Chain A
Amino acid sequence: MTDLGIRRIEGRAITVRGNDIDTDRIIPARFLKALTFSELGEYPFYDERFDSEGREREHPFNRESARGAKILFVNANFGCGSSREHAPQCLKRWGIDAVVGISYGEIFAGNCEMIGVPAARAEAQALAKLQEAAEADASAEFCVDLERMEVRGGNLRVPIELPENRRRALLDGHWDSTGQLVANAEQVRNVYERLPYTRGYQEA
């Protein structure tokens, strides 16, 4: 399956500060009981955005400018913890098409990649400038450019990194791996037949 490639993500940005923001905070476990991902766009950071009576609290996702934002600026080890794909799914369904941070929980980064959301890395000080710029002017527009590997916004130009194969997959529209894996069924069978455990450790 081939999707259209992604070259640039342009739009407003939300800054969520803090290291080690885990996927339980991004989407609490009770929302994982939904049988589809389709409704998850309302729930990013739900328990931080609303108190127990459902009243809104101060949170970057509750600001008016957050509606329609395309880019998320975070800090280190974002998305650590649970493997729930619901975390990047809820962000994407909110409208986030790119995340820029210092580092990520690896399963989270892999899940982003699987759904065509770049989880790009930037150096800490440069990232801080992006976060400040997005906070200072809620209407500021940014561009995550996967060809030039930089984020631009105002007078800022910040280099970003992605593993080259992930960047390539996004540019070429090949991030959905199922088709590629299924296409190699013949080679899979060869590996299967070579592994002793698949035949109960009996000689072939």
Chain B
Amino acid sequence: MASGTLYNKIWDSHVVERLPTGQYQLFIGLHLTHEVTTPQAYDMLAERGLRVAWPERTVATVDHIIPTDDLARPYVDEQAELMMQALEKNTRSFGVRFLDFASGRQGIVHVIGPELGMVHPGMTVACGDSHTATHGAFGTLAFGIGTSQVRDVLASQCLSLDPLRVRRIEMNGALAPGVEPKDVILHIIRRLGVKGGIGYAYEYAGSVIEGMSMEARMTVCNMSIEGGARAGYVNPDETTFAYLEGREHAPVGEAWDAALTHWRSFASDADASYDDVVEMRGEDIEPMVTWGIHPGQSVGVHEPLPDPEAFDEAERPTVERAYAHMGFRPGQKMTEVPIDVCFIGSCTNSRISDLRTAAELARGRRVAEGVKAIVVPGSQAVKKQAEEEGLDRVFSEAGFEWRHAGCSMCLGMNTDKLVGDQVCASTSNRNFIGRQGSPRGRTLLMSPSMAAAAALEGRVSDARTLA
């Protein structure tokens, strides 16, 4: 059993009771919600005559189904319009704050929570979305949950949970130039596997992680679930506090000083013990790209694709299925693969630093002929910031479409979808079969600079050669 870790400290300070089932009742400090996983939860509350127990600790936004081109109501997609209306009705009748487009604060739930300063070290966070681990970047314990659990949080501000084990992933050394946070997490998932994290919370540590900005840490924590981990976090430090200072929901004055003391106390102790420790080196990481149908199937950009025989017998069918779906062959290099679509966005890589990185490459260049490239900022605030910096013009002049904020082509729940067997260079988090809206679509996960380079060259390319 781990002890003295941030995980233990947050867990212990939020446990309410041991339930008759043996699970633990855990208080949830911040409940983030969106339109897709809540309508049934509100219906269940209404059926049982329950109200939202602590409405001030829940916040809603719209991200999954919102169009990124034409925002006029009613939405072109009738189902999306109905879903939006349900959220408007539910938040109104249950007294939950809804950060809609008119608020100027709308965006992907995992982008707006942090940027509004709602997520503080030492908190528990829950959201009906598996990428909730993003908020672990702030030294929180953040859980992705299902709709019945959303009902639980609405009704009680609590979840019924089993304790986790803690694995410390210590990434020391330094990253080579051109290697991005996305490459770090793809490398970790490849090393530990997509099942490696089952039963664990991941603590990301070491000099590489400590040297990262908050936005970089969010990218890393975001994909914890892709490695099977229920949660992932980084211990809070001066970088965390500097990010939070001055944000809308951050404390000010004396409260800020008190908060700092409190936040510092949550970091894992120097002599904390872990259920497992894994060490990695930043120097070992190359720009990564996935070639298969889960996020663990990745290679360095110049590495030949693996031989199915090199895998365990149990893993081979998934590898063979990946080759069959993607139409690639062992030994091939990803730099030979032409792309049809480039998607820059998603809760993994749609923050201002991601857009700056991509824009830097796009400046003065043109998207290759025949490639459709879209840039979808993570929030209205990110969009505004990018426009103030002129990034929208850089993208537009290069032939990228500049869109409104939302989840967009990460999962194709709005009208942004792949068509047929298109190949997409994507900064999102999942390359599952059918993920981007076409059952035959093919997703290649990569960093913002790699995705931009792919759009400009018309095929997967080492972004470092363009820089």
Contacts and interface: CB of A to CB of B under 8 A. Distances in A.
Interface of A: 1, 17-20, 22, 24-25, 28-30, 32-37, 47, 52, 76-77, 80-86, 88, 103-107, 110-111, 114-115, 124, 163-166, 168-169, 174, 176-178, 180-182, 184-185, 187-188, 190-192, 194-198, 200-203
Given A33-B413, A80-B228, A24 B156 contact: no
B20 interface: yes
Contact of A177 (B64, B152, B258, B439): B152
9 contacts: A19-B195, A29-B437, A77-B198, A81-B130, A83-B144, A169-B21, A177-B160, A178-B155, A195-B13
A22 B296 CA distance: 13
Nearest to A192: B27
A180 B17 CA distance: 10
A188 B27 contact: yes
Contacts of B321: 18
Interface residues of B, number: 86
B13 A201 contact: no
A85 B37 contact: yes
Given A33-B80, A110-B146, A111-B146, A198 B19 contact: no
Contact of B39 (A18, A35, A111, A114): A35
A103 B462 CA distance: 37
A10 B437 CA distance: 36
A104 B50 CA distance: 32
B130 A107 contact: yes
B299 interface: no
B83 A33 contact: yes
A88 B53 CA distance: 27
Contacts of B23: 165, 177
A166 to B, nearest CB: 8
Contacts of B57: 198
B353 interface: no
Contact of A110 (B29, B48, B83, B149): B149
Contacts of B255: 200-202
B315 interface: yes
B48 A25 contact: no
A178 B162 contact: no
B199 interface: yes
B53 A185 contact: yes
A188 B148 CA distance: 19
B166 interface: no
A170 to B, nearest CB: 10
Contacts of B433: 24-25, 47
Interface string B32-52: 000011011001100010100
B40 A188 contact: no
B14 interface: yes
A183 B346 CA distance: 38
Given A77-B228, A181-B156, A197-B259, 6 more contacts: A34-B79, A83-B128, A103-B198, A107-B146, A111-B147, A194-B13
Nearest to B417: A30
A181 B152 contact: yes
Interface in B55-75: 57, 64-65
Given A18-B321, A30-B413, A107-B225, A85 B148 contact: yes
Given A83-B128, A106-B199, A188-B27, A24 B432 contact: yes
Given A80-B194, A169-B21, A188-B157, A17 B317 contact: yes
Contacts of A84: 36-37, 146
B318 A20 contact: yes
Nearest first, the 4 closest Cβ-Cβ pairs linking A and B are A165-B22, A85-B146, A111-B146, A181-B156
B4 interface: no
Contacts of B157: 188, 192
A198 B14 CA distance: 12
Interface string B208-223: 0000000000000000
Contacts of A194: 13
Nearest to B77: A33
A19 B319 CA distance: 10
B147 to A, nearest CB: 4
A196 B430 CA distance: 37
Contacts of B17: 184, 187
Nearest to B161: A110
B95 interface: no
Contacts of A76: 195, 314
Contact of A30 (B50, B152, B412): B412
